[in-house]
Chains A and B, each alone.
Chain A
Amino acid sequence: MNTTTREQEKLLVDRIKSGDRPAFENLVEAYRSKVLGTLYNLLGGYQQAEEAFWDVWTEVWKSIDRFKGDSKLSTWIYSITTHVAYHERRRRKGIGIPLEEVENTVRSAASPETEVLHQEEARLLEKGIAKLPESLRTPLVLHAIAELDYEDISEILELPVGALKTRVWRAKIELKKVLEPWMKFEKI
């Protein structure tokens, strides 16, 4: 991250710390789709993801004073996201992941035809991600959905970068197994 972005980030954080609500709203706006996507894939259900989404932003608003700028703001937000998802999963342990909900979610697509194709592909992908063990799922989601650097994920999950890369790679190999039939169908 360059100096200007850091400075802008610091300014934004200072404004939020002073209770500037519009500044906080802008922050939520900037991260909302990725945070929701991350939660959705970590928790595997839209309803839980939405609940957790509000928890994340409540936590960000409440504890922004504790953010000292040692790490990137995005790293800090995703760190909270990961923690909230982790606690939500622990709380709901044994309930299982309601994959049926996946079909009722709202996405955007260019045409009805591509929408159907993308919906199916996304459904399979989410199914695959939900089947992954937590140790592979979290690094993959943070890397592919939240689009974080390996260094940032390493900071959040407290894992070495090399190990993270291997986990993401393994997660993708596992995903391929789930997506295999779809890919064959698409080639036809």
Chain B
Amino acid sequence: MDEIRENLTCLRVAELRGSGEALPVELESHASSCPNCLAVREVDEVLGHYEPPRMPHYSRERLWERIEQRGSSSSAVWLRYAVAAVLAFVAWISLYYGHPTRPQEARTNETPVVAQKPILVASLCSVSEIKGNVYLRSLGETPWRALHLQDQLTGGTAIKVASGSAVRFSFPGKTEIALQGDSEGTIQTIFSDRKGLDSFYLLHGKVYIHHRDNPFMASTPVALIEAVGTEFSVRHEGKDTEVRVFRGRVHVKSLKQETSMGREQHLWVGSRADFKVQPFSMKEAEPWERSEFKLAYLNHGKMIQSTIKLVKHTNAVRSSEENLPELRNNTENKAELLTKHQEQHEKSVNQKQSQKLEERATNYHGHLERLRDKEEDQMKKYDEEQRKKAEELLKEQEAHEKK
């Protein structure tokens, strides 16, 4: 019966419309008369004895043979990608560093940490949201052009966000990046231990990263930040980088040192920084770190000013201290409501019970009165009979005496 119910979308819709749960009889009658449901049942029957084709030459040896073949061919593909990417990277470097609009920060004497690793072309990010003016420059392209939602961001694509604008995009591993205004960075894939690692290189500005399952790495000219299932923000201004962790852990590397840091900790990396992990309160998080972006940009000549939320935060990001008063209030309100409900319920239950008792008492009294009436009637009848019998006896006695 459940199976019928499962398949009867038409009936399910009717149920949803408020006609209530259908009875088995109703289901059966519907299933035997509705042409669509009959069709579904017939198809189910055919599907029931359908047998997919078999693999006649399957064997365990063949399984391993094919897996090994594929493993080696995939490494060959990897090698091809690697060679292509290295060439592309060389081309990109020459174009990027030769370009006159390159920001001043990139001209520092400091060797970028990420430059020590090969940066290859493989990732394919999708743009989820664009607010304001955001530009991209694909690998090999010289001028910046406006970024559109349908643009595919491959490794090596540089993104520049104008002041008062913002952009959100996600990597195939679902890691989400929210880049704030006045920021610039590049999407990259870093190869480490023969595995591609999605990465974002922040040249300058502020970025909020919501990391998911796949390995992910953020980098700036002075730091490499490895994510281990986390939410964190990176800000690179001048020659220094600040990393703040809101959830999970990250591993941070500079040219000379490296360290791990966890929730509610922050670290400055750079020439003037001491590379010391220090605590910070969630309350200190700036609006953009809560993913609230203040926007101010021109749209068809009209100034747009608003605040938006780009990345959905997990509850863990909000500090527990911050949540406590709200939670307490909610609980108190709920408790009050429950007490009220209970009182009302008790009142209504008492009223109903007393009404019932009154009704029962009234009924009882009525019954009692009826019984009394009946008893009186019976008594009267009895008296009458006795009287008649006495009279008869008297008459008989008188007659006897006369005789």
Q: Could you tell me the distance between the alpha carbons of A33 and B58 in the complex, rounded to whole angstroms?
A: 10
A172 lies within 8 A of B43 (CB): yes
Once the chains bind, are B52 and A165 in contact (CB under 8 Å)? no
- The reply to whether B52 and A41 form a contact with Cβ atoms under 8 Å apart is yes
Interface assignment of B42: CB less than 8 Å from any CB of chain A: yes
Interface residues on A, range: 35 or more
CB contacts (< 8 Å) of A34 on chain B: these are 52
The answer to whether B67 touches A54 (Cβ under 8 A) is yes
A-B contact pairs, 11 of them (CB 8 A): A36-B55, A38-B52, A49-B53, A54-B66, A106-B55, A108-B54, A118-B49, A145-B50, A165-B12, A172-B44, A176-B43
Give the residues in chain A near B7, CB-CB below 8 Å: 169, 172
Shortest CB distance B28–A (Å): 18
Residue B309 lies at the interface, judged by CB distance under 8 Å to chain A = no
Q: Report yes or no: A58 in contact with B67, Cβ–Cβ below 8 A.
A: yes
- Chain B positions within 8 Å of A, measured between CB atoms, are 6-7, 9, 12, 36, 39-40, 42-44, 46-47, 49-56, 58, 60, 63-64, 66-67, 70-71, 74, 213
Chain A residues numbered 152-171 whose CB sits less than 8 Å from any CB in chain B? 165-166, 169
Decide if A76 is an interface residue (CB 8 Å cutoff). Answer: no
A33 vs B47: C-alpha distance in the bound complex, in angstroms? 16
A118 to B67, CA, bound (A): 33
From known contacts A36-B53, A106-B54, A125-B47, infer whether A58 and B71 are also in contact, taking CB-CB under 8 Å.
yes
- A182 to chain B minimum Cβ distance, whole angstroms, is 8
Knowing A121-B50, A125-B46 touch, does A106 contact B63 (C-beta < 8 A)?
Answer: no
- Tell me, in angstroms, the Cα distance from A155 to B67 when the chains sit together: 27
In the A-B complex, list the 5 residue pairs whose CB atoms are closest, starting with the nearest: A37-B52, A105-B53, A176-B39, A54-B66, A58-B70
Interface residues of A (CB under 8 A from B): 21, 25, 28, 32-34, 36-38, 40-41, 46, 49-50, 53-55, 57-58, 61-62, 66, 105-109, 118, 121-122, 125, 144-145, 165-166, 169, 172-173, 175-176, 179, 183
| A26 to chain B: closest residue by CB | B60
Chain B, Cβ-Cβ closest to A59: B70
| Nearest CB in chain A: distance from B395 CB, A | 97
Question: How long is the Cα–Cα vector from A168 to B53 in the complex, in angstroms?
Answer: 22
B9, B12, B52, B63: the one contacting A57 at CB < 8 Å is B63
Other than A57-B66, A108-B54, A125-B47, give 9 A-B pairs with Cβ distance below 8 A.
A33-B54, A36-B52, A55-B70, A58-B70, A105-B53, A118-B49, A144-B47, A144-B50, A166-B9
| Complex: A49 Cα to B44 Cα, angstroms | 24
Determine the chain A residues whose CB is within 8 A of the CB of B39 once the complex forms: 172-173, 176
The residues of A that contact B12 with a CB separation of less than 8 Å are: 165
A66 and B42 contact, CB distance less than 8 A:
no
- Of all chain B residues, the one with the shortest Cβ separation from A121 is B46
CB of A175 within 8 A of CB of B43, answer yes
Instruction: Note all chain A residues with C-beta closer than 8 A to B213.
Output: 66
